[in-house]
């Protein structure tokens, strides 16, 4: 890719390395039950070494969603219902995967799903979340902020509506909170097909509008749907998105 492609851009290989790679560890909920962040950090460091040795550069982990409804099936990927414990485990996982600096035996962490995904109505995956701003700041955002402060290099935007604005098109969440309030310097990737799904939410009228609303909300990378690939150049030519903004993103 670097030697023969036009732009000489290396490929970034990402994978869900959640509780070990070749060496298997307890699932995140079980690991959190140890109440030992140092143990979690060691396990994820081991996983990062395994994954990096196999060519993986980036893991879609940790999932730090606070979940208080046990009907939500993805609760197993998080640390449970407590923001203090969730923050401790989020911090430990970022440090375990990335180390003090990215190198030959570490991988880039991706903190997910930003944010409020674990508060889905009725515990139904992908369902809407309705969370007051005070509860967002005091509970649901706490582990995310801890992960950002630990140096996480990437975040993943969530699928669902947050207070009737899809998280992947949510400027308040991705720009006001993440970029401005927390001064996050990494990049945001959408969850799989989430930019295209802005149309399913009724938030975007067509693929061009979905690309526009995703990029202007603060999503740097469109995972899998190719909505950016097929529409961003036209949006720049039409003057709806500036070239300088694309460079920044």
Give the integer Cα–Cα distance in Å for 43 and 81: 22
Give the integer Cα–Cα distance in Å for 106 and 134: 35
Give the integer Cα–Cα distance in Å for 128 and 151: 29
Give the integer Cα–Cα distance in Å for 160 and 162: 6
Q: Establish whether 209 is a catalytic residue.
A: no
**Catalytic one of 65, 161, 191, 209:** 191
Strands 154-157 and 187-190: parallel
DSSP run (H or E) holding 113: strand 108-114
Catalytic residues, which ones?
191
């Amino acid at each position: 890719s670097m030697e023969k492609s036009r732009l000489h851009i290396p490929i970034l290989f990402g994978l869900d390395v959640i509780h070990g790679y070749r060496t298997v560890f307890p699932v995140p909920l079980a690991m959190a039950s140890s109440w030992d962040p140092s143990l979690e950090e060691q396990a994820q460091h081991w996983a990062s070494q395994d994954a990096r040795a196999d060519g993986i550069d980036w893991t879609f982990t940790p999932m730090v969603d606070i979940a208080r409804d046990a009907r939500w099936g993805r609760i197993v990927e998080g640390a449970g219902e407590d923001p203090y414990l969730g923050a401790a485990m989020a911090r430990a996982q970022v440090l375990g995967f990335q180390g003090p600096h990215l190198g030959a035996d570490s991988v880039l962490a991706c903190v997910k799903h930003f944010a409020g995904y674990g508060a889905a109505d009725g515990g139904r995956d992908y369902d809407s979340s309705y969370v007051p701003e005070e509860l967002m700041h005091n509970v649901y955002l706490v582990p995310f902020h801890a992960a950002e402060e630990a140096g996480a290099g990437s975040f993943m935007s969530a699928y669902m509506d947050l207070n009737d604005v899809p998280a992947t098109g949510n400027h308040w969440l991705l720009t006001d909170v993440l970029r401005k309030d927390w001064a996050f310097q990494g990049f945001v990737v959408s969850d799989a097909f989430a930019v295209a799904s802005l149309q399913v939410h009724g938030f975007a009228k067509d693929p061009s509008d979905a690309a526009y609303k995703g990029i202007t909300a603060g999503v740097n990378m469109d995972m899998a749907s190719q909505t950016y690939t097929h529409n961003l150049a036209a949006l720049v030519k039409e003057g709806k998105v500036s070239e300088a903004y694309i460079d920044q993103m």
